[in-house]
Each structure stands twice: as structure tokens, then as C-alpha cells.
A and B are shown apart, each in its own frame.
Chain A
Amino acid sequence: MTILCSTKCGRNAVLKRPKTGDTLCKECFFWAFELEIHSTIINGKLFKKGDVIAIAASGGKDSTVLAQVLKTLNERYNYGLKLVLLSIDEGITGYRDDSLKTVLENKDEYQMPLKILSYQQLYGWSMDKIVAEVGRKNNCTFCGVFRRQALDRGAMLLNVDCIATGHNADDIAETVLMNILRGDVARLQRCVNIITTTEGAIPRCKPLKYTYEKEIVMYAYFKKLNYFSTECIFAPNAYRGHARTFLKDLERLKPSSIMDIIHSGETMCIKENVKMPERGVCTKCGFVSSQDICKACMLLEGLNRGLPKLGIGKSSKANKALASLSNPKSLNF
């Protein structure tokens, strides 16, 4: 049975859009996919002419598709942007080696400059070394905390105007759920923003904010894009895993759930009388932090002192532990 493309272009449909349920031919799907991101960029005022944009490139599907689409749109609609790829090498044997290969291929294919920064360079510790020290239970904490700052540091070095990350609609919806589950209203508020700006840090934006993960896979599949698809080889966080499964269940029941959750996030706000954590800068490294000493420095301190559990649990506990150490300020890291 052949089904016609719902745009009435005359061609046969080859796919059903996960987001809207419409049947489309390959060409019309590419158009729809790219136009939607174009409209997200224009409506969200994500870029200015002449901006230098760092694309956070992990080699995974989101960032690979982001690089491809930004390059296409930049040329097609004369954004006037300078695009660069920024990669972080966590130093995970068998995971990052392979994914960085993909990034290198992207660099050649899209002819974009690429900067790779390693945890070893930035922190003196690769993830392999960290795992050897802390085991596999908490290593994703390190991985996540270090990556967040690594992108900021890399972007500073490259002197860019904005970092574009590959977060898609599923990621945002999942994060809304996660922040409700862990009671983090400050993040709940921030996570639906399409641009996040913090004083002293380079703004970040999410051009794929309204793009469904399934459609990203579809786009990569039909464009035959090369991406690295292995999940992080360390055990994923159980809690986030549950939230992800939950979101998939909701999407199956009602495909619009992902957008409905983002809509919820966009229409909620924090009551005036709720105390919010103050965001200042870390006294050690100068990067954004809600504590005197940022999480990255805290974790690093633990590693360097041979107390890797430090900083994993509640911050107050870590602060106490840190205070009990002899003159922690004199330490260099």
C-alpha cells in the first residue's frame, strides 16, 4: 500500500513523523525538520550576525545532527555565523576514543575548526583514572560535573559568543521531570530556557529544544550521517534511567507528551517567597557556583587528597569534611 506525502508534493511517503503523526516523503521531512530548527533559532533569537558559535560535539547523534543542520541553515539563510566544534575528551578508553573519531570525521566533512580538550589537561585526571580511584558507582557524578565546566573553559579559550548544545526535546522534558523528582526548583525554572546566561559564563543555547529525539535519529538515518551511538559505558544513574523510561511510556501513550511537559515547564514559576540558592563564583577556580567552592573543585580536592567520596553526597557534609582538613586553602589545583 502506498501512502502519499501529506504536503501533497506528489511523492510517496516513506515515514510517519513521531512528533505529529503526519506521513512525509524524505525530501519534505528534511524540509520540515530543518525549517523547524530555523524557526526555533529565529523565534528564540539565538544568534546574531557575526557570532562565533561553539558546537558542543560529542560524536553522538544529537551533536552530529546539530552540526549538520547549523551548517546547512547558516549557509541557506545567511546567518553569518562562524561555527566551531568543541569536544571534551573525558579519557574513557573504548568510549571517547571511538566517538572522537566521529568528531574528527565531522570536522573534515563540515570543514569546521575543532578544539579537543581533555580532562587530563584540564583537571589532571582522566575518567579512566577516576574510575580506578572511585569505582563505578559514582563516576557519572564526576563525569557530569567536570564536563559542565570543561565546556565553559574550552569556550573561553576559543573566545566564542555562545555554546550550542545538542539537547533535544526529550532531554528537556526528562530534565523537567528529574528536577521535580529531586525538588530542585531553581533548575526546574532554568532548564526550560532556550538560552541560559549566567554572569561570568558564556551563554548556552539549545537549537534542538523542540526537536524529538526519534526525528533526530530519522534525520541522521536518511541523511546517512555518521554518529557514535554507544551509551556511556559506565552504569547509568538509576534515577535518571527511571525518568527516561517513564517519559518513553508517556510518549507512547500520547506523542505530544514531550511537548506538553515542556509547556508545563514554560508556564510554571517559582513562588516569590521561596528562597533560591545564590549563584556566585567559586573562590578557587572562578567559575559559576552556588557554593563558596564549586562542585568540580570539591570533587577534585577529594581525588587529590585520596578521599574520593568527598563532595558526592550533600554539600553541607562535604563542606564540613573540607573544613576539618588542615588548611584546605593552601592546596593548589
Chain B
Amino acid sequence: MCSVNDEGAESFEELKPDEPLELKCRKCLTEDGNVILRKKDVYCKTCFIPMVTHKFRATLGKSKLVNKGERVLVCVSGSQSSVSLLHLVWTGLQQSTYKRLTFDPVIVYIDESILFKYPQNQQNKIQELFEKYGLSYHIVLFASVLYSNNCLIEDTNIDQHNNKLKNIFKNISDLTLKEDMLMKLRKHAITKLAKLLECTRIITAENEHKLSIRLLSNVALGRGSQIGLDIGLAVNDKTNSKKSLITIRPLRDLSAKEISYYALFNKLEDYVHSNFLTATNEDESIQKTTEQFINNLQVEFPSTVSTIFRTGEKISEKTSRTAYCSMCQGIMDIEMPPSSAMEATKYSKYVSLMGLKALELSLNNIDNKESDLKRCNGCYCKNNQNSKEELLKNLCYACRHIIQNLESLDDLPEEILKKNSEKLQFQKMEEQIKDFLL
């Protein structure tokens, strides 16, 4: 078939051969340029920094969600974006009265050195950095946040907790799922910290480039319905009805390049921040393949990142029911109509095992058959298997892929399991009284 298919014409902005550059700053028209953005816009240093600050403030202001004196969790991972975010927040707090940021920031750094190799003195350096800014801050261990309720003060069981955390990832062999799990656990940790520190807003540092990669990875992982949650400007955590927790991403309108220059001009040092994909090849995981794909396209078609990002702006989840995944808080996307990719996949697996017999049994038998197939042949893991089945019931499409790979649930954070059993309890109650509800 022709490469165009039937979807009609395609037009993309192709990279034009380099046009002669104006060398003066486009804003003040007097200074020599120091930065070139979008291959043509030249800025001097003096004009560039206020522009970045302005974008940050505009994005933050647009959300109109941060009130005066509100406690806001500012997440700093050590990455260039995050140290820039910290600098932007701090600068905002120093401004003259009418421009000053009025919220009450609480800075956190989650130490993941149990999972990744960091320079030995990294924690000290981060501490020095935070001290320099003089804002209230916390440096916490990843495993403590996940498994201890005392993580802000002292975790007496840290060795045990570290082992649990390492165990989870030891049990997931697939790099794609490993990284996906890391993202979800980080999110879980941040949410928990916000609650412990009585913050009602969370600010994170993702830039446009990072978010567009996340968007496309999400689509590839079956997390299309979570795009709003994962890249949106402001995301309401609807599960927390008493005190609504909102995540804001004020650097989302800034490009990676703008942030690098901001960090460079302000002499901001950044720190090693790893994940499971650091130093892996692009052909080992979906996320890295996606990143590589976007980066390559961006070279050929410079509008790639911003187009993907703007597409994300227009997408939200299809919701008929308000139920949320116990792992990632994404909307539950597993009650699909018979004509859907999810049901078709189920049927494929079924037909491949049943062959001709598939015809005799009705399609409705699939679910029963499926759980029959999963039950092990008389081994002792029945209980374990049961609780896994129960957890799977309240997981979204993509989180199921992760948990199905786990041998045991023992190493999952307690809150996730607890939340799940509460949900199950509630569902059982609903089941019992459903005929009497008007």
C-alpha cells in the first residue's frame, strides 16, 4: 500500500536550511546574542533570564491553584531541571512585595542511592545546596518513605526496608516494567511525603522535552488514559477528597535548552540522578526507544517535541466511572466493551489455548477459564495467588502488566495493599446491597 494510507495529506514543518542569524538580541536590539532558540531567536543573557522567569511565573500563575501561605512540596531530584526549579522558586521569594511568591515551600530530596550508584558525597552536597538557599528542607531515604511512617525522623528498620525495595526490582526482569514501576513508586513516595509534611500542593520540575517523551511512552505502555495525570499542568488527586492534593509542573512550557541556559547563566550545579535506564541501550526498553525516537525526529523536524506536547494538552481520559488504580492512581481503564483491544487480546490468548474447542464454549466463559489456567497445579501458593488476583482487580491495564510479573506482593508498600483491601471491602458491601440502592 501507499505510505499515505487513507488518512489524507501530511504536512510537517521541515527543517529549513540555516538562515543567516541576526546577531543582536531580538529583545533589546543592542546587546550581542548569547542564546539561540528555535534555530532563529537570539537573546542576550540579560534578556534571557527574565524571559525564563516570566514563563515559570506565568505557568504557575495560570493554574491559580497556589494560595498565599499554602505549604507546597518542591521536589528536587538533583537534575538540571530540578535545581533550576529550586532557583526559580527561591528567586521568586526574594522579589519585591507585589511580585513575590507567597506560598510556603518545603523542599524535599529523595535519596535513591540504595538503587543506583551515586558519588559518595552526593547527599552532603545536596544538603549544602539546600542550606545555602535557607529554605526549609528534608532529605529522606527512598525505602524509608515507602515503608516507614517515621521516615522524617528516623527509620530504625532501614536495612529491612532497603532490602524490600531492592527485592521488588530484583523480581522484575524486564527493563521497561522496572522503570515503569520506579516511576509509580516515586510518585507514591512523593504523595506520601506531601501528606506527612502537610503540603496540599506538589511542584515538580519536568520540562517540555521530558513530558513529551513521557506522553509517547505512556501511549506505548497502554497508559493513554493517564496522559492528563502524568503531563498535565495541574492534576487533582481525586482520591484524596478531604484535602485535595494537586501536582503542578511549572517548567512544562520551557524547553530543555532554555533550562540548560538558565542553569548555565546562573551557574547552577546539577547532580547525578539515575534511573534503571541510565547507561542502557535504546533497544532494551520502551522508554529509551521512545526517547531516542523523539530526539532523532527533533533533529529532522524541530517542531516535534512541541507538537507532541500540545497534542497532550488536548487529551483527557475517557471516564464513565470514577475508580482509580491502587498503584498509580490513574483512572481504571479495564472495563472495556467487547469490541476493544483489551477484550480482543484476551480472546487471542483463549483461542490459542483452546483451538477448535473455543467455538463450542461461549465467549463469556473466557474469564472463568482464564483464572483456571492461572491457578497453579496444586502448589502451596494459593493464598498468595488469591491476594494477587484481588490486587489485580483494582489495577489499571498497564499496572497489571507490572504486578503480573511479581512473584510475591510482600515487598509492596503497605499503603498500596491497605488501600486495595479497603476498596475490596467497599466493593463487597456494594455487591451485597446493590439491589436495594435507589
Using a CB–CB distance below 8 Å, which chain A residues touch chain B? 5-9, 17, 19-20, 22, 24, 28, 31-32, 35-36, 39-40, 43-45, 58, 60, 62, 90, 140-141, 143-145, 147-148, 151, 165, 167, 171, 175-185, 187-188, 191, 194, 210, 231-232, 234, 236-242, 246, 249-250, 252-254, 256-257, 259-271, 274, 295, 312-314
Contact = CB atoms under 8 A, between A and B. Distances in A.
B227 A140 contact: no
B218 interface: yes
B10 A194 contact: no
Contacts of B176: 253-254
B181 to A, nearest CB: 15
B297 A240 contact: no
Contacts of B30: none
B315 A270 contact: yes
A262 B343 CA distance: 12
Contacts of A249: 283, 289, 293
Given A180-B215, A181-B307, A268 B348 contact: no
Pick the most buried of B174, B333, B352: most chain A CB atoms within 10 A of its CB: B352
Interface stretch (B120-128, B238-246, B354-362): B354-362
Given A44-B339, A267-B224, A180 B219 contact: yes
B412 to A, nearest CB: 23
Given A7-B354, A9-B355, A256-B345, 14 more contacts: A35-B351, A39-B344, A43-B337, A62-B1, A140-B3, A144-B5, A179-B7, A232-B2, A237-B3, A253-B285, A263-B340, A263-B342, A312-B11, A313-B11
B191 interface: no
A295 to B, nearest CB: 6
Interface in B94-146: none
Nearest to B2: A232
Contacts of B27: none
Nearest to B304: A181
Interface in B334-382: 336-345, 347-349, 351-359, 363
Contacts of B289: 246, 249-250, 253
B268 interface: no
Contacts of A22: 349, 352-353
Interface size class of B (residues with CB under 8 A): 35 or more
Interface in B268-322: 283-286, 289-290, 293, 296-297, 300-301, 304, 307-308, 310-311, 313-318
Given A7-B357, A19-B348, A236-B3, A263 B222 contact: yes
Contacts of A237: 3-4, 10
B344 A210 contact: yes
Given A185-B315, A239-B301, A40 B356 contact: no
Nearest to A17: B352
B348 A36 contact: yes
B355 to A, nearest CB: 3
B301 A183 contact: no
Given A62-B1, A253-B176, A264-B223, A147 B6 contact: yes
A201 B347 CA distance: 32
Nearest to B332: A267
Contact of A187 (B7, B339, B357): B7
Contact of B307 (A7, A144, A183, A242): A183
Contacts of A143: 2, 4
A137 B347 CA distance: 43
Nearest to B347: A39
A237 B222 CA distance: 27
Q: Which 6 A-B pairs have the closest CB atoms?
A: A264-B224, A7-B355, A144-B4, A236-B3, A260-B222, A22-B352
Contacts of B227: 268
26 contacts: A7-B357, A22-B353, A31-B359, A39-B347, A58-B1, A141-B10, A144-B4, A144-B6, A145-B4, A148-B6, A178-B7, A187-B8, A237-B4, A242-B293, A254-B286, A256-B401, A260-B220, A261-B222, A263-B222, A263-B224, A263-B333, A264-B223, A266-B341, A269-B315, A270-B314, A312-B11
